[in-house]
C-alpha cells in the first residue's frame, strides 16, 4: 500500500487526524471533494460585501452549487442542512463560537432517563479539549463557573464591548450565569493566526487570518509533514474487499476521471450528512456498508436555533467587533422537569451586524418591516443600538430523523445526492419557547426599549450530528468508543456523525477534541490494527 491511512474529508476532524498521524510517521492521503477557500473573495472592505458574501461564502450547498457540493433534498425537513465542502470544512464559515460540552452532556441517560450516555466522560475528553484549543488559537477565560476547574484557552477573551457589559450587569442583578465567551478568534498574533481587526465579518469570511479555521491552523503543517491532499476528488464509494475489510475508495478527479485510492485503514470525516451518504452508497447490501445495526443515517440532530434581539437607546457601535460572541450564559442549560421539557440550551450574545442586516426579515421579522416612510430613522434606531442572544437548543435523537440516499438528484459527477427527513419534536418546541422567553427577560433587565423574538427560519442546520451513532452495543450503534465501525475493523468515523446526543452547544470544539482522541487511540493500537494489505 502506498498509504497507511486514507481520510475522506479535509474539514476540522480530517485535518486534525491527518496532522497527528503524519507526526507519528503515518503515510496519509486525504481526498476532499471541494477546493481551498478563495480569500480573494473576502472583500470585507467593499461596500457590496454584504451582498457578495451570501454568494461567495454561503452555507447552503443547494444555493451555492460549488463544484464540491452535492444536492440535499430537504423538502421533508423542518431545517435545512448547511455546510462548507472544501479544505477547512465548516470552520471556514462558522461563527467561531467555541464551546466545550458540559459534563452532563455525556450522561443524559443516567441523569434524565432519556436517549443515551456517551461511552466516555467529560473528564476523559478534557485533555483533548485543552490541546485543540491551543491548536486552534482559542480566546476565552479559564474557570467558567459552569464547568469543572481546569486549563482554559491560550488567548485572552474578545472584548465584552458595551453590549456585553450591559447584559452581564443585568445577569449579575438577576443572579444568572454569564461568562466571557470562548471563541476561535485570535485576540493577538498567535501561531499562523493574526490578531482580530474587529470588523464583524467572522460569520462569513475572515480576510485577516484571525479566525481559527482548519485550513489555517492545521493544513499548512500537515502538508509540511508529508500529508498528500487531493482536492476536487469526490469519493463515489468505498472499496470493500472479499475479506470484508475496506481497501480504500473510488473517486472522481477534477477532470472527471474515476480513480482508486488504496490504503490499509480508512477514516471518514465528511460530516453528519456526507458520511452516512457515503456508507449508504458503498458495499453490496441495499442497506449500505457498516450498517448491520440499521442505524446508519438515523438519529440526525441539527440543533433548533432561537434568536432574541434587544434594541437599546445606548449606541453600542455593534457593527464593529468580533462575531463571535461577547458573553455566553448557561443559566438554563440543565434539565428542570417543571418547565415541561428535558435538557436545555446555551445562549451566546452576538452583534446584529451592519446596515444591510438592519433591513432583513431575519432576525427582525416580517411584522417589523421598516421599508417606506421613516425608513432611515428606523435603521438608525437599530444600527449600533441592538444586540441579540443566539440560542442553541439541545436536539434529542430520534430514529425518524434521518439521512437517506436521493437517487433522483445527483451531483455534477452523477453520484446520488442525499435527502434529509427531519421534524422538530414537541420537546424541542417547548424548550426553544422557554428559552426565548427567558432571553427576553434578560434583555429587558438590561434596559432594552424593545425586544424582538426572531421568527423561526429553516436555514439553521449548521450542526449535523448523530447519523453513525457511537456505542458499545453493535446491535444499536455503528461505531465503538474508538470511532471504529463495529462491522468493519479497519473503517473509522471521526466526525460529528458519531455523537450519541447533541448537547446544546456549538459542536466544533467537541468534534475537534473527539477527532484528536480517536487519532491518538489509532496510534496507540497501530500494532493490533487490522489493515487491508
Angstrom distance (rounded) from CA 281 to CA 406: 10
Query: Radius of gyration of the chain from Cα atoms?
Result: 22
| Residue 448 neighbours by CB under 8 Å, 6+ apart | 310, 311, 312
Domain range 3-525, CATH architecture: 3-Layer(bba) Sandwich (3.50)
pLDDT of residue 54: 85
With beta carbons less than 8 A apart as the criterion, state whether 125 and 517 touch.
Answer: yes
pLDDT of residue 1: 67
Cβ burial, residue 143 (10 Å; 0-12/13-18/19+): exposed
> Can you tell me whether residue 414 is helix, strand or coil?
coil
11-27 burial by CB neighbour count: b if 16+ within 10 A, else e? bbbbbbbbbbbbeeebb
Cβ count near 121 (within 10 Å): 12
Return the ∠ at Cα 230 (arms to 225 and 233), rounded to 5°. 155
Beta strands in 63-181 (DSSP E): 72-77, 179-180
Angstrom distance (rounded) from CA 217 to CA 215: 6
pLDDT of residue 300: 98
Q: Which pTM does this prediction carry?
A: 0.97
Q: Which residues pair with 403 in a beta bridge?
A: 420
| Residue 286 neighbours by CB under 8 Å, 6+ apart | none
Angstrom distance (rounded) from CA 271 to CA 263: 21
Question: Shortest CA distance to 443 belongs to which of 139, 181, 178, 146?
Answer: 178
pLDDT per residue, tens digit, the chain (533 aa), is 689 999 999 999 999 999 999 999 999 999 999 999 999 998 888 888 888 888 899 999 999 999 999 999 999 999 999 999 999 999 999 999 999 999 999 999 999 999 999 999 999 999 999 999 999 999 999 999 999 999 999 999 999 999 999 999 999 999 999 999 999 999 999 999 999 998 888 887 788 999 999 999 999 999 999 999 999 999 999 999 999 999 999 999 999 999 999 999 999 999 999 999 999 999 999 999 999 999 999 999 999 999 999 999 999 987 788 889 999 999 999 999 999 999 999 999 999 988 888 888 889 887 778 888 888 998 999 999 999 999 999 999 999 999 999 999 999 999 999 999 999 999 999 999 999 999 999 999 999 999 999 998 899 999 999 999 999 999 999 999 999 999 999 999 999 999 999 999 999 999 999 999 999 999 999 999 999 98
Domain positions in the chain are 3-525
With beta carbons less than 8 A apart as the criterion, state whether 422 and 79 touch.
Answer: yes
Distances (CA, A) of 62 to 68, 90, 159, 305, 423: 11, 15, 36, 20, 20
Q: Which residues pair with 328 in a beta bridge?
A: 179, 348
Angstrom distance (rounded) from CA 333 to CA 340: 14
Question: Shortest CA distance to 33 belongs to which of 201, 269, 372?
Answer: 269
**Grid cell 437607546 — which residue?**
313
Q: Where are the alpha helices (DSSP H) in 228-351?
A: 271-281
| Residue 127 neighbours by CB under 8 Å, 6+ apart | none
Angstrom distance (rounded) from CA 52 to CA 42: 9
Amino acid at each position: 500500500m502506498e498509504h497507511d491511512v486514507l481520510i475522506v474529508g479535509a474539514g476540522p476532524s480530517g485535518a486534525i487526524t491527518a496532522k497527528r498521524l503524519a507526526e507519528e510517521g503515518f503515510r496519509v492521503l486525504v481526498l476532499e471533494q471541494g477546493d481551498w477557500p478563495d480569500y480573494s473573495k473576502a472583500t470585507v472592505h467593499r461596500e457590496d460585501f454584504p451582498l457578495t458574501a451570501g454568494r461567495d461564502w454561503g452555507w447552503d450547498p443547494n444555493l451555492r452549487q460549488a463544484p464540491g457540493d452535492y444536492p440535499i433534498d430537504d423538502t421533508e425537513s423542518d431545517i435545512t442542512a448547511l455546510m462548507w465542502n472544501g479544505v477547512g470544512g465548516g470552520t471556514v464559515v462558522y461563527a467561531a463560537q467555541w464551546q466545550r460540552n458540559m459534563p452532563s452532556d455525556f450522561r443524559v441517560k443516567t441523569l434524565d432517563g432519556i436517549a443515551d450516555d456517551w461511552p466516555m466522560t467529560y473528564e476523559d475528553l478534557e485533555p483533548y479539549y485543552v490541546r485543540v484549543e491551543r491548536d486552534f488559537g482559542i480566546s476565552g477565560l479559564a474557570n467558567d463557573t459552569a464547568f469543572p476547574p481546569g486549563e482554559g484557552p491560550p488567548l485572552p477573551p474578545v472584548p465584552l464591548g458595551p453590549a456585553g457589559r450591559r447584559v452581564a450587569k443585568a445577569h449579575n442583578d438577576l443572579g444568572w450565569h454569564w461568562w466571557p465567551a470562548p471563541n476561535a478568534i485570535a485576540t493577538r498574533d498567535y501561531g499562523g493566526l493574526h490578531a482580530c481587526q474587529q470588523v464583524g465579518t467572522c460569520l462569513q469570511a475572515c480576510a485577516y487570518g484571525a479566525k481559527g479555521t482548519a485550513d489555517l491552523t492545521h493544513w499548512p503543517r500537515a502538508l509540511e509533514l508529508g500529508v498528500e491532499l487531493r482536492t476536487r476528488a469526490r469519493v463515489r464509494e468505498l472499496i470493500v474487499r472479499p475479506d470484508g475489510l475496506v481497501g480504500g475508495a473510488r473517486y472522481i478527479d477534477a477532470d472527471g476521471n474515476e480513480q482508486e485510492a488504496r490504503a490499509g485503514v480508512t477514516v471518514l470525516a465528511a460530516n453528519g450528512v456526507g458520511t452516512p451518504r457515503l456508507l449508504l452508497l458503498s458495499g453490496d447490501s441495499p442497506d449500505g456498508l457498516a450498517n448491520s445495526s440499521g442505524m446508519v443515517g438515523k438519529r440526525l440532530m441539527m440543533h433548533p436555533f432561537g434568536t432574541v434581539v434587544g434594541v437599546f437607546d445606548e449606541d453600542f457601535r455593534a457593527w464593529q467587533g468580533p462575531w463571535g460572541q461577547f458573553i455566553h450564559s448557561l443559566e438554563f442549560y440543565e434539565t428542570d422537569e417543571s418547565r415541561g421539557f428535558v435538557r436545555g440550551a446555551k445562549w451566546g450574545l452576538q452583534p446584529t451586524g451592519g446596515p444591510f442586516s438592519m433591513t432583513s426579515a431575519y432576525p427582525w421579522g416580517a411584522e417589523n418591516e421598516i421599508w417606506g416612510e421613516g425608513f432611515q430613522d428606523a435603521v438608525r434606531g437599530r444600527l449600533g443600538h441592538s444586540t441579540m442572544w443566539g440560542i442553541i437548543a439541545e436536539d434529542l435523537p430520534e430514529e425518524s430523523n434521518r439521512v437517506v440516499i436521493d437517487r433522483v438528484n445527483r451531483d455534477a459527477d452523477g453520484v446520488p445526492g442525499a435527502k434529509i427527513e427531519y421534524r422538530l419534536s414537541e420537546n424541542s418546541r417547548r424548550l426553544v419557547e422557554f428559552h426565548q422567553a427567558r432571553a427576553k427577560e434578560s434583555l429587558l433587565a438590561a434596559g432594552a426599549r424593545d425586544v424582538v423574538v426572531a421568527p423561526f427560519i429553516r436555514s439553521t442546520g449548521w450542526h449535523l450530528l448523530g447519523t453513525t451513532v457511537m456505542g458499545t452495543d453493535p446491535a444499536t450503534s455503528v461505531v465503538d468508543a474508538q470511532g471504529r465501525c463495529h462491522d468493519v475493523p479497519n473503517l473509522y468515523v471521526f466526525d460529528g456523525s458519531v455523537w450519541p446526543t447533541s448537547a446544546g452547544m456549538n459542536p466544533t470544539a467537541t468534534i475537534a477534541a473527539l477527532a484528536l482522541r480517536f487519532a491518538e487511540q489509532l496510534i496507540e493500537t497501530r500494532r493490533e490494527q487490522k489493515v487491508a494489505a
